[in-house]
Amino acid sequence: MISRIKYLVGEKNNTDMATIFIPPILMFLFFIIYYFFPPKRINRWYGYRTSYSMQNQKIWDYANRIAAKYLLIFSVALLVCDVILKVLLSNIEIAKTISFSAIILGLVLTIIFIERKIRKQEL
């Protein structure tokens, strides 16, 4: 009986809908750390690591500085997008699909944008 009441009130739906906020919040926290504590030296574990960005220390520093900035902006935009999805959509599956698709598309586009930006610089 209690579970039926919770379902009718929408508690289950709110819990499910809240799961779309977890990835952007975690991304935001990670990118805040990345922004304030960028990697100092080229390494294999931490930082914006592409074959071009790891060519020399100058490119590495520039790439990580702009990657931290743009990835932080992306995570905030994703969080705003998820709030809008929560307000506009009642179907949790559609909201999750849109949210996770936005994460993948956004990260790919961010990487393409960062790569183009670092290649335009004369480093």
> Domain range for residue 56?
19-120
In a domain, 79, yes or no: yes
In a domain, 14, yes or no: no
Both tokens of 112, joined, read 């393409």
Q: What is the pLDDT of residue 76?
A: 95
pLDDT classification of 87: cutoffs 50, 70, 90: confident
Domain count, the chain: 1
Q: What is the pLDDT of residue 17?
A: 66
Mean per-residue pLDDT, 86-110: 90
Ranking 11-15, 28-32, 90-94 by mean pLDDT, the lowest is 11-15
Distance CA 77, CA 73 (A): 6
Predicted confidence (pLDDT) at residue 2 exceeds the cutoff of 80: no
In a domain, 6, yes or no: no
In a domain, 84, yes or no: yes
Mean per-residue pLDDT, 102-123: 91
For residues 55 and 42, the answer to whether their CB atoms sit within 8 Å is no
In a domain, 12, yes or no: no
The angle that helices 92-120 and 11-18 make with each other, rounded to 10 degrees, is 10
Q: What is the mean pLDDT of the chain?
A: 86
